Amino acid sequence: MTIDREDLLNSIIDSLDRIHHIELEDIPNIDLYMDQVTTFMESKLRSTTRNPAEDKILTKTMINNYAKNDLLPPPVRKKYSKEHILLLIFIYYYKGILSIGDIQSLLKPLTQRYFHAADGAPDLGYIYQEVFSLEEDAVADLKEDIIKKFATSQKIFQDAPKEDQEVLQLFSFISMLSYDVYVKRLLIEKMIDSFKDATAKSK
């Protein structure tokens, strides 16, 4: 097996450039039926999936389960508002790394305080826009970190047979990225516990 290391790294960096969040202005300002919500989410987030031809972004069952688990306020006359869609986008990004309970701990206080906020108060649209305004800097930092980890992984197993070296170095690169995710998840879980305490005290 021969791995073109430069091609591999360039492919990874290019894939980061293709990941974009849904712009606030692209979300319809009219209420949507469930089928329209799933179609919208599919059209905007399809490129973020591992297997675009097969993976589902959002289904009716998922939406019903989110509502049942108190992650999403119920629709009004079977229609979902722009703020419902904002919450669904947050859920989409969180669900790959967090439990339903942790997502609930994060979103419920925001929903209670900012869903259909009164005039003049921060609303979910404002919060969404502020959070995702950090995306460009975050992606730049991530690229730099990935390049550094990739370079580090290429320096080890130098004494291994050539036919084993590439596989072991690739395995090391994957392991470094995985450990990074593992540590960050632990930190996120601890911060969610603090977030729960902070939001409970502010009630």
Structure tokens at 75: 């629709």
pLDDT of residue 2: 56
pTM above 0.85, yes or no: yes
Structure tokens at 95: 């669900």
- Above 90 in pLDDT, residue 70? no
Structure tokens at 194: 């603090």
Which of 164, 168, 147, 157 lies closest to 8 in space, CA to CA?
A: 147
Helix (H) or strand (E) segment spanning residue 14 = helix 5-17
- Above 80 in pLDDT, residue 197? yes
C-alpha distances out from residue 42 to 89, 96, 147, Å: 11, 17, 31
Distance (Å, whole) CA 49 – CA 144: 23
C-alpha distances out from residue 43 to 13, 46, 58, Å: 23, 6, 11
Distance (Å, whole) CA 130 – CA 40: 22
- Above 80 in pLDDT, residue 79? yes
Domain residue ranges of the chain, discontinuous segments joined by +:
5-201
pLDDT of residue 30: 95
188 touches 97 (CB < 8 A): yes
Digit-coded pLDDT (tens) for 140-158? 999 999 999 999 999 999 9
pLDDT of residue 44: 92
